[in-house]
Amino acid sequence: MIQIKNIPVEKTYTVRLNVLRPHQSISDCQYDGDTDELTKHFGAYLDNKLIGIVSIYKSKIKHIDDKNCWQIRAMAIIKNIRKKGYASSLLKVAETYALKNGANYIWCNARISAIGFYEKHNYKLYGDEFNVKDIGPHYIMIKDCFVD
Write out the residues near ligand COA by the rule CB under 6 A. 19-20, 75-77, 82-88, 110-111, 113-114, 116-117, 120
CA torsion through residues 6, 12, 18, 24, sign: positive
From CA 100, how far away is CA 105, in angstroms rounded? Answer: 12
Q: Hey, how many other C-beta atoms are within 10 angstroms of the C-beta on 45?
A: 15
Residue 39 or 71: which CB sits closer to ligand COA? 71
Which residue's C-beta sits nearest to ligand COA? 116
Residue 37 or 116: which CB sits closer to ligand COA? 116
Q: Hey, how many other C-beta atoms are within 10 angstroms of the C-beta on 102?
A: 11
Min dist. Cβ of residue 6 to ligand COA (A) = 19
Residue 76 or 94: which CB sits closer to ligand COA? 76
From CA 41, how far away is CA 94, in angstroms rounded? Answer: 8
Residue 22 or 65: which CB sits closer to ligand COA? 22
From CA 13, how far away is CA 27, in angstroms rounded? Answer: 9
